A and B are shown apart, each in its own frame.
Chain A
Amino acid sequence: MTSKTLGLVMPAFGAALIAAASQLTIPLGSIPFTLQTLAVGLVATLFQKREAVLSLLLYLFLGAVGLPVFAGGSGGLAALIGPAAGFLWGFLAYAALTSALVSPKSSALAIFFANLLGDSLTFVLGMLGLMFLAKMSAAAAFLSGVLPFILPDLGKLAIITFLAKALSKTLKNEGYFK
């Protein structure tokens, strides 16, 4: 069953999932590991392009009006034009690109590389944001905004791939995910 109403409810759920995941922190030693990127990746992989993009737009909008839905419980317009704004807008690009590249029949490798491209786009936009909004040099933006996150994000991408494959197997019966 696909309908216009489903096309509205699905992004609402997607945004809620990302918002809830952004607030969850799993303690791995002394490094807080939020599930924000993981949730964005899952939404981008499982949803079709329209619903994926709408989910992110909805999420960004809620954060813009002050709801504490961004990582660490922050929010407000400040986050959307502050130093880390590039990453938030990058998530939107991530969702658009990855959902366009992935289909329910994609192989695990295709899913991983689609998410890798999406995540890389997030980092590129994040770096641009740091350069123009926080007045950093390119090297400084890379060192502070990209380098520390490469390994953790590769791990998250692997997890996204695993979860997406597991989920898409069992979601074949759902009309939307065919």
Chain B
Amino acid sequence: MTNRLIGYYGGDGFLYRLSGASKLLFLLLASIACMTTYDTRLILFIGILSLILFRMAHVRWQDISFVIKFISFFALLNVIVVYLFAPAYGEQIYGAKTVLFEGWGRFYLTSQELFYLFNLSLKYFSTVPLALLFLLTTHPSQFASSLNQIGVPYKVAYAVSLTLRYIPDVQEEFYMIRMSQEARGLELSAKAKLLDRIKGNLQIVLPLIFSSLERIDTVSTAMELRRFGKNKKRTWYTYKKFSTYDLLAIALACLLFTASLLLFLLNHGRFYNPWA
């Protein structure tokens, strides 16, 4: 039983052959561009681009549907909370007030607020696919070498790699300990009383931490025995040299980032205002 939300799925195709470093740079630059701008045109472009890339990667819906639903729920929650606490924010931004629905008290709905919330939602649905793509098409082992390739010190990059390997181990350990405890009579399901459940779950934390500390000791000793960290540089088994396509991907990412800056100037701010 592994609680695997998402992970690498091997495959062929353009995106799998790109270096992890270029994909990471693209992800970061495109995400920053998408997050800082409220120009609907740029957000839409990035969104459509990410959907096209998704098709190219032949990602199966069942592999990602759980995560998509979860993130959609949180995005929806975000939009609702923003509206509830700032129903007039759209007016302030766009300098116009077109009431669509009178509502009650301060909770009326305007075209401007709706447009703002639309932009907010669009950001999620433009950047989330890019992040998922990066995760699904990049082998975890390549992740660390990619970081080193873009300038992160290799020890730090390796710590990232270690964390990625530890996460499923911690999850696996948690479920194993829980099942062992339940096999010995501990009731953790909805049948037990609240306090008993809290107490029971806490009894899982202690052995979890001890087994993890044991693993830490083992891993760090093994790394030292293999002379990790003795030199200023290292080679990577999973290294991928930049190809022409990698350079093109990075160039496209820089273009998107530059576009968001130019639109900032053009719009006299972050917002594209159709009512101006």
Contact = CB atoms under 8 A, between A and B. Distances in A.
Contact of A16 (B82, B170, B201, B229): B170
A5 B230 CA distance: 10
A117 interface: no
A84 B77 CA distance: 12
A39 to B, nearest CB: 9
Contact of B27 (A29, A65, A163): A65
A95 interface: no
Contacts of B220: 3, 5-6, 8-10
B163 A58 contact: yes
Contacts of A8: 155, 158-159, 162, 220, 229
A16 B169 contact: yes
Interface residues of A, number: 59
Interface string B145-184: 0000000000100111011101101110010000000000
Nearest to A175: B217
B108 interface: no
Contact of A78 (B31, B82, B132, B219): B31
Interface string A39-60: 0001000000000001000110
A167 interface: yes
Interface residues of B, number: 67
B123 A78 contact: yes
Contact of A66 (B27, B159, B160, B228): B27
Nearest to A134: B82
B67 A73 contact: yes
Interface in B117-156: 123-124, 127-128, 130-132, 134-135, 155
A105 interface: no
Interface string B30-74: 011001100000000000000000000000000000110011011
Residue in B5, B67, B130, B209 whose Cβ sees the most chain A Cβ within 10 Å: B209
Interface string A71-106: 011111110011110000000000000000000000
Interface of B: 3, 5-6, 24, 27-28, 31-32, 35-36, 66-67, 70-71, 73-74, 78, 81-82, 84-86, 89, 123-124, 127-128, 130-132, 134-135, 155, 158-160, 162-164, 166-167, 169-171, 174, 190, 194, 197-198, 201-202, 205-206, 209-210, 212-213, 215-217, 219-221, 223-224, 228-229
Given A66-B134, A78-B127, 16 more contacts: A1-B221, A5-B229, A6-B216, A9-B159, A12-B163, A13-B216, A16-B167, A27-B190, A65-B28, A72-B73, A74-B71, A76-B128, A77-B127, A78-B128, A140-B86, A166-B206
